Amino acid sequence: MEHGSTMAVAYTPCVELQRMPHAAYIRRPGEDWAGITNPKERKRLQNRLNKRVSRQRKKRKTSHDEDDSSDAASRAASTTPDTTVSDTWTLLCSSSRSNSTTRIVPSTFSHCSEEDAARERAVLEQFAEQALRSYMTGDPCADHKLRLIQFNIINGLTRNAAVLGYQFDWLVCAAVSPFGRDGPIRDARSVTPPLESGTVPSNLVPTVVQLSIRHHPWLDLFPLPRMRDNLLLATKNFLSPEEEQELFDDIMDSGRGKHEWTGLVVWGEPWDPQNWEVSKPFLERWAWLMIGCPEILESTNRWRRLRGEKPLSTPGFIVEEVEDGD
């Protein structure tokens, strides 16, 4: 079969080395940076292991944890309207992480309740109004594009939260999903009115995994059941709090001062997977989250074709742009 032009993330070969000190911190295949010749991939793996080493060191220093938590709470309480969504998430999560090796989501709202998230919504709504005015006056600002995408994804997830009948703000870090084990309710099907009435779209109905794992409600809001399961199992078994923070930032397109779209976007009703698109940078980093979710790649490629862009392919989790028909 003839292949068209391909732009791929290079598949980097590995060479065998003797066991090195960092190997003691490797938990699963694919984390060893020894022998990786691609500088970007090597740096990524090194950063992951360095963070793991740092977390283990911090666990030995528990004497200041209570003071640190108190400081984080003070910072969260004093959040200003100029604070970004990413900043607030970082502040709120820093005050709600457990000191133990087992992560336990707080069962009640803490000091970082709806007021903080409400301030963030006000900032985003103000921005949306400014962006609309600049567009209507024929003077659109290029810098508005990424913030509009961020507004788009937050609005989509908020609408899905409303469909699920959430009576709280899903951006609140101390919130607990009503669907998780030991959460506010045990049997979502019999307690939550929207589920009981059958008005919740099938793509948002909680899975067995959601009903069995205690988790934050933001993980309930994606209209891809298998992706939700992948997320939950990852956060339970191997994804660190720092990595979950990075995932949240990438999805919200709100981290590290990026100048390109790197997250997700919703082009229609947020409970329909066909209206979702994932960026190439996001797939390059988080392709494993899409295992068993062919519909998100199909939807992504449909939107890319409408813009005249090449479709994406993920053979062996190596993201490629390919010619149609390949």
pLDDT above 90 (res 322): no
Residue 252 within any structural domain of the chain: yes
pLDDT given for residue 301 in this prediction: 94
Q: Are 44 and 157 in a shared domain? A: no
Q: What pTM did the predictor assign?
A: 0.56
Best mean pLDDT range from 73-87, 100-114, 178-192, 280-294: 280-294
pLDDT given for residue 44 in this prediction: 78
The DSSP code for 303 is: H
The Cα–Cα gap between 179 and 207 comes to: 9
Helix axis angle for 65-77 and 85-94, nearest 10°, is 150
**Which of 105, 101, 106, 89 lies closest to 52 in space, CA to CA?**
101
pLDDT above 50 (res 17): no
Residue 4 within any structural domain of the chain: yes
pLDDT above 60 (res 214): yes
DSSP string, 165-230: T--S-TT-TT---TTSTTSS-S-HHHH-HHHHHT-S-GGGSPPHHHHHS---GGGG--S-HHHHHH
Q: Are 41 and 146 in a shared domain? A: no
**For the chain, percent of residues with pLDDT exceeding 70:** 42
Q: Name the residue with higher pLDDT: 135 or 100.
A: 135
Asked if residues 181 and 211 have their Cβ atoms less than 8 Å apart, the reply is yes
Q: What is the band of 123 on the pLDDT scale with cuts at 50, 70, 90?
A: low
Q: Are 143 and 225 in a shared domain? A: yes
Q: Are 133 and 228 in a shared domain? A: yes
User: In total, how many domains does the chain have?
Assistant: 2
Q: Are 118 and 227 in a shared domain? A: yes
Structure tokens at 297: 């790649």
Q: Is 138 helix (H, G, I), strand (E, B) or coil?
A: coil
Q: Which of 57-66, 89-98, 147-156 has the lowest mean pLDDT?
A: 89-98
Q: What is the band of 13 on the pLDDT scale with cuts at 50, 70, 90?
A: very low
pLDDT above 70 (res 299): yes
Q: Are 155 and 92 in a shared domain? A: yes
Structure tokens at 237: 């078994």
Q: Are 117 and 50 in a shared domain? A: no
pLDDT above 50 (res 75): no
Residue 169 within any structural domain of the chain: yes
Q: Who contacts 148 (Cβ-Cβ below 8 Å, separation ≥6)?
A: 128, 131
Q: Which of 31-35, 38-42, 201-205, 309-313 has the lowest mean pLDDT?
A: 31-35
Residue 73 within any structural domain of the chain: yes
Range 249-255 average pLDDT: 68
Average model confidence (pLDDT) for the chain?
66
Q: Are 56 and 164 in a shared domain? A: no
Asked if residues 32 and 45 have their Cβ atoms less than 8 Å apart, the reply is yes
Residue 202 within any structural domain of the chain: no
Q: Are 245 and 307 in a shared domain? A: yes
As beta bridge partners, residue 277 has 265
Range 64-70 average pLDDT: 47
Range 155-179 average pLDDT: 79
Q: What is the sign of the dihedral through the CA atoms of 105, 263, 13 and 2? A: positive
Q: What is the band of 84 on the pLDDT scale with cuts at 50, 70, 90?
A: very low
Q: Are 230 and 144 in a shared domain? A: yes
DSSP string, 251-279: HHT-STT-SS--SEEE-S-TT-GGGEEE-
Q: Are 31 and 67 in a shared domain? A: no
Q: Is 26 helix (H, G, I), strand (E, B) or coil?
A: coil
Residue 317 within any structural domain of the chain: yes
Name the residue range of residue 57's domain: 1-61
